[in-house]
Structure 1
């Protein structure tokens, strides 16, 4: 068997096992062959990972270590279960012991490790040397023959030899031995001739375990081309000329020059390293994690110590990078990686430490000039100077005798910080290739750090914009309790336009709104703010839910085509104990009765806001005291494994027998229904309906006559005495007189008065007049216009709004403050 020919045709997977039988090395060829990545394979038993047959699995057990074995078996790929016929070459790599396992006589407790080479047996049969399965044992040069019981023996037929040729007179023994000497220069001519004769004579691998030589394995170049289907007409292999006895075999193709192969590998290896390191550096949008990854990929490949130091404004993302660097520029060490003993530099150069660098040092010089600073060997005097510049710690052991390289981190023309690299005294200084690779990785890392900083700023802007447009605390209203929760999406690109609000309305009523702007990002958050402001403005006009949605839809269509949103608006009246709801394409709410039953309210779905062309319908329901209403956005219900209908059903089930504590209800819904990393915003509003007791409400229907005014004053005084609010009698009587008189003058028909004791004292006067009163300045000669000025001055708040027929004028008066004891 010609080794170069075999390795040039079939890619060999190199796997090493530690002394416990677990995988210590797993290369890319093994990933292609068995369908499992390096991260999943390392530290796992090889036999269990690949589901090897029992007769083969024993070869890789610790008690068999030290045995030379080659064979073949069929295993299923880990990723898809496709069977793969694998050829194995297994060798111990224990230093100083060519044969013998862990329990061999005189072995002691030596650590025996195993090297396993694996290849696709089908490719060896079709593209490489001839391969057969036999029953003869494999023999090592020292006679240590081992083979697992029941395993199939792999035999590789020699490419250039025939079985009938004697080893001593084989015409190819000389060239084969010379080729082995080129591939393994440490073996020697005598050993090369002996190995060549064994291989040509036996047709099986012959391994000398007494020497250590580099294995001539070609570098990984990607997954092998699939083996053609032997049954297809186009891929059926043609019989070679060497299969006919009378045919003359053509001369083999000349092997590539070893010098060219080594040169190709020398060029390819740095490029492969740069590609893999750059991929790791750019794998995170966290600028601090990117800095740590930069230090990790450089040790130990290019340095023994790596530290990344960023400007304080960049590390904390508090301001853009500074335009100029001087002695007042603050920095922070964000990452330290080294290959010394653990904890060696933790106290001397801790990560996260703030720094203030003097101007005369190579670190500031690199940032000012934008060019690396390389000191091939730091002497004792220079080490003392560097140590003194960095504080009161003795850092001379860190610098003395080592090569120092300081590279500035520059992105978009601004300096972000520095990368500091050190090599131990036993390593050479940084060469031109090292400098080029470090410079390339520093440029990539600086751009990734700046991108991460900008992305973080975008996330903060989006979240701050959205949170500034959402309510802070639920309002305190009479007859109802409100709690809500909001959880933004995990990434800035997914920050959406979910909004919610609870709006106190006249008459102790409560307006509840939940909406979701279609789309994500800053634009959706800005649209959400506009729509929320519009809802609050329209709700202040005491519009019924269906009319409010019509007005909001018209506003959205006037603002632009992208103003699309779903919205649900409800109004709760704690006096009448009724709730009126209207929906614009939003998720319907769930109503929980006082007995614990839950149901999804069958609201007319409607079309989203901004679509237009369809009317909105309202639904009015009676609610009992102790009931709850839960509204949410689709981010709570919809996940990859669950659609909205399934999420709505699960929401209803979780609300059965819900606790009266609304905070616990909201938290349990978030914990039970929301995804751990939500792809969309989540908003939840829970409302508890308590109602206002009937004894705290007084109503009177008045005749539109002047004699009504003194009569209603006495009625109001009696109700205030009943509520123990006698101290407010004079003021409230005066305010009631003004409102009733205004209704007699400007109204028409019947007049109604309602007095409600809630969180404060509310008085409402209704009349049939169409004109709304307005506050104006009265001159000294005017005979009217001073009534509303009096109401505005004596009440804590007043207002007016239209009713279905007529108008309502109201005022609120705070309760008297309790007197301090004593």
Structure 2
């Protein structure tokens, strides 16, 4: 089928015009209003005498991603980042004739490249206006126009002669140099300009005098749709295949445009049905074989396959990974020659590298022996010539968002017809759709990986090893990767062999919730390190969340277990209540004041202290473990108590039994579970003395410490512990108030605590050579493994730990 021409037929395709003379008699620039303006949205803007934008229509905002307020008053060449050879066209008076051209520009909002056709008209008699520019998206012209052909771009210069823009790889565009008073064209052009501007009729008349732009077609090609001829479009048809083209055993081949479109739709649904970019690539290969090819291999850039970062530039060191291979030969025929998962380094000059660099399909109608040898040359450890020889080869690049992701390599056996133009067009469209699905899957996987890595980095690794308690964690992310949330948990060793336990749940999901979770967990650890009581800790956490922002909402439960006093103090901020399991297996949900979530404010957080027996267990969790569509929170708590009653005494086994029983293999929300076994410290490992606040108490305390260390078999530590304990006792005598109490606790480390009723907390300072005080805490800091101070209900405690 030969497409009608809109310029003299003696101009050969691919050769530059030497003149832009008058069109043949009877020529009318009908494409202006019947094709160009009717098919694609036309961006229009006017320039003042200084080359600044005066008017910017809505189509220009949509095409270039620049709103009118950001465009008016700017230089279009700089605003649109035009290539150097196109900048002069937007200087008023640069050409004495209409200028036509084409180039690729990035959108301002997200950087996607847009292939754009331009027509620039210098306007000498329009008041205050120096030029009018029209632009169209060439992709829309190709997809919606009458099968527009690929070719160079013809540009009319100042002398009226046409020249070819050799750098363009777009549509053939030329000015129709005939004057026309076509009223339809004038109305179509006027609609692009501001209706209230009195210069609009002048601009339209001037443009028509200069010549209307026309898109020309001059190739003899088969098109999947017929050209427009002025009436209702006929039913789409393709050229009938030659008789006898189909051979016995050839797979069925679509023979109508509807079948092509149905195939594209079906294949697109299959490829886009998975958020896994590797699965989408494999589905692409499976959709093509055997319908359009006998062999298909999808190769992705190694960085794309790993979803490790953005697609890299295509250079001589690029590496690709073969992620999908499908063929209709005997099973296993090519498994060793082209295995899936193989990473390849493409040597310079290979067809695959050429396709990705240029963005163009590489088509070899028949691979001869020499070509097969070149294709197989990079594989020195195997002979791939039998795979290529005699077959038709097509390499289609996978391009998405202006970046090459890889390519798909297709082969047809010698007994099948080669790839024709319709096949290449369909495969190119399928590759574009598949590349977008693959890139979307890669971006989705990368986002999920970032969220999961962020969340994992903010959760504790191994439970702490503390005296008097055992801690076990379990965490299950949501079954849907997009539901990565803000559940957190922690166990924090505190002074005096105590243990802080926290479980929280940030409202919402995604990266924001994970980031908020990390901030709140850090804040809890910081406040707990100051030995802040549970109610006060939640109040301070609530104040912090409200200062950080409105989105900082979370539930939280904080508890402190004292293995010496055998008590557990808890405070709740709208979280799921914990379950306490007695040594005999009986369980109960602790009745705590619920409180409001963190970040709401306006309500106190009350702490409750309960006695706990040795051998009992405390289980804390988030609502993702308990709530389901068919199960509310109360029912989930009842089931949790039942599973805990039947669980084995080992904490690890008990946690696994609870997760298995409550069906958390594929949760719809994050699941966090913390189990704490209360063992307590034996009374023989604790020694305490009340000291009279007088100078002799220091000597008496030293004697008591030495006697207890001897009983515990720690005589080697006696000199050091005596020295440090006497320093703390002296500090309490000089700077404290009220009664003084000394306590030694033997756990994972030896802990020494000195209590007094004073309110002032001591701090480490540098003592000068003439100072009489200030060296005691320096000595403690130097000899002890850890030391610190915190307030109590009636005073303060200064403590240190010494490793055993």
TM-score (norm 2): 0.68
Give the drift of 1:316: 2.1
Residues 308, 446 of structure 2: 8 Å contact kept: no
Q: Is the 8 A contact 1:546 1:582 kept in 2?
A: yes
2:771 to 771, 775, 782: 782
Which range is displaced more, 313-322 or 740-749? 313-322
- Distance in 1, Cα, partners of 2:536 & 2:312: 54
Partner of 1:497: 486
Q: Determine which of 302, 305, 309 is the counterpart of 2:295.
A: 305
Match of 1:466 among 450, 455, 478: 455
Structure 1 residues 402 and 260: alpha-carbon distance in aligned structure 2, compared to 1, 3 A threshold: closer
CA distance in 1: counterparts of 2:785 and 2:384, whole angstroms: 70
Alignment partner, residue 798 of structure 1: 787
1:215-614 aligned at under 5 Å gives the runs: 266-326=256-316, 328-614=317-603
Shift of 1:649: 1.0
Task: Using the TM superposition, give the Cα deviation of residue 630 of structure 1 relative to its aligned residue in structure 2, in angstroms.
Answer: 0.6
Structure 2 match to 1:209: none
1:102 matched to which residue of 2? none
| Aligned match for 1:704, one of 672, 681, 693 | 693
Aligned residues: CA RMSD: 1.9
Q: 1:522 to 1:319 in 2, by over 3 A?
A: closer
Change (3 A) 1:728 1:259: closer
Q: For the Cα contact (< 8 Å) 1:637–1:674, is it kept in 2?
A: no
Cα deviations across residues 458-513 of structure 1 (Å, max 9, x unaligned)?
A: 11111111111111111111100111011112334211110001011111111000
Of the three residues 706, 710, 715, the one matched with 1:717 is 706
Q: Distance in 1 between matches of 2:658 and 2:422?
A: 58
Aligned mates of 1:775, 1:444 — CA distance in 2:
67
Tell me which residue corresponds to 2:92: none
SS in 1 for 2:518: helix
Q: Is the 8 A contact 2:304 2:311 kept in 1?
A: yes
- In the TM superposition, what is the alpha-carbon distance from 1:265 to its structure 2 partner? 8.0
1:655 counterpart SS class:
helix
With over 3 angstroms needed to count, the CA separation of the structure-2 counterparts of 1:258 and 1:479, relative to structure 1, is closer
Residue 717 and residue 258 in structure 1: after superposition, are their counterparts in 2 closer, same or farther (change >3 A)? closer
Task: Tell me, yes or no, if the aligned pair for 2:237 and 2:257 is still in contact at 8 Å.
Answer: no
**Counterpart-to-counterpart distance in 2, 1:797 and 1:701:** 24
> Is contact 1:590–1:631 with CA below 8 Å preserved after alignment?
yes
Partner of 2:127: none
Alignment CA distance shift 1:260-1:758 (3 Å): closer
Name the CA distance, whole Å, in 1 between partners of 2:543 and 2:373: 75
The equivalent of 1:116 in structure 2 is none
The Cα offsets for residues 531-582 of structure 1, whole Å up to 9 and x where unpaired, read as 1111111112222211111111111111111110000000100000000111
| Residues 593-742 of structure 1 aligned to structure 2 (within 5 Å) | 593-742=582-731
1:295 is paired with a residue of what secondary structure?
Answer: helix
Aligned residue number for residue 87 of structure 1: none
The alignment partner of 2:496 has SS state of: helix
Contact kept? 2:785, 2:800, Cα under 8 Å: yes
Residue 768 of structure 1 corresponds to which residue in structure 2? 757
The change in CA–CA distance for 1:512 and 1:331 in structure 2 (over 3 A counts) is same
In the alignment, the residues of structure 2 paired with residue 303 and residue 372 of structure 1 have an alpha-carbon distance, to the nearest angstrom, of 15
Does the 8 Å contact 1:632/1:684 carry over to 2? yes
SS in 2 for 1:711: helix
Aligned-residue offset at 1:428: 0.9
Distance 2:237 2:542 in 1: 73
> What is the aligned length?
558
Distance change >3 Å, CA 298–CA 712, structure 1 → 2: same
Would the aligned equivalents of 2:655 and 2:673 in 1 still touch at CA under 8 Å?
yes
> How much has 1:672 moved relative to structure 2?
2.1
Q: Is the 8 A contact 1:635 1:674 kept in 2?
A: no
- Counterparts of 2:235 and 2:600 in 1: how far apart (Å)? 72
* Cα displacement (A) at 1:272: 0.7
The whole-number CA distance in structure 2 between the counterparts of 1:786 and 1:258 is 99
- Once residues 516 and 801 of structure 1 are traced to their aligned partners in structure 2, the CA distance between those partners, rounded to angstroms, is 28
Work out the CA distance in 1 between the residues paired with 2:698 and 2:730. 7
Shift, 1:262, TM fit: 12
The DSSP-based 3-state class of the residue aligned with 2:580 is strand
Deviation by residue 1:415-452 (Cα, 9 ceiling, x = unmatched): 11111001111211111111111001111111111111
Give, in whole Å, the separation in 2 of the partners of 1:382 and 1:607. 74
Q: Aligned equivalents of 1:309 and 1:261: distance in 2? A: 32
Aligned counterparts of 1:809 and 1:731: Cα–Cα separation in 2: 17
- The CA deviation at 1:320 is 2.5
Q: Which residue of 2 aligns with 1:74?
A: none
Distance 1:810 1:389, change over 3 A: closer
Residues 597 and 657 of structure 1 are in contact (CA less than 8 Å); yes or no, is this contact kept in structure 2? no
Give the whole-Å Cα distance in 2 for the aligned partners of 1:759 and 1:675: 35
Contact 1:545 1:618 in 2 (8 A): yes
What do the CA deviations read for 1:111-164 (whole angstroms, capped 9, x no partner)? xxxxxxxxxxxxxxxxxxxxxxxxxxxxxxxxxxxxxxxxxxxxxxxxxxxxxx
Kindly state the Cα deviation for residue 702 of structure 1 after the two structures are TM-superposed: 1.0
Deviation at 1:260, TM superposition (A): 8.6
Q: Partners of 1:718 and 1:488 in 2: how far apart?
A: 53
- Deviation of 1:657 (Å): 4.3
Moved more, 691-700 or 540-549: 540-549
Aligned partners of 1:278 and 1:444 also within 8 Å: yes
How has the CA–CA distance of structure 1 residues 784 and 343 changed in structure 2, closer, same or farther, with 3 Å as cutoff? same
Distance 1:578 1:411 in 2: 62
Q: In the superposition, relative to structure 1, how do residues 661 and 541 fare at CA in structure 2: closer, same or farther (>3 Å)?
A: same
- In structure 1, how many angstroms separate the alpha carbons of the residues matched to 2:777 and 2:504? 37
The offset of 1:258, in angstroms, is 12
Q: Distance in 2 between matches of 1:391 and 1:314?
A: 26
- Report if aligned partners of 1:458, 1:492 keep a CA contact under 8 Å in 2: no
Maintained 8 Å contact 2:314/2:356? no
Q: In structure 2, what is the Cα distance between the partners aligned to 1:259 and 1:366? A: 31
SS in 2 for 1:360: coil
Preserved contact between residue 647 and residue 653 of structure 2 (Cα < 8 Å): no
Contact 2:303 2:309 in 1 (8 A): yes
Aligned residues of 2:488 and 2:672 also touching (Cα < 8 A): yes
Superposed displacement of residue 730, structure 1: 1.2
How many Å apart are 1:267 and its aligned residue? 2.1
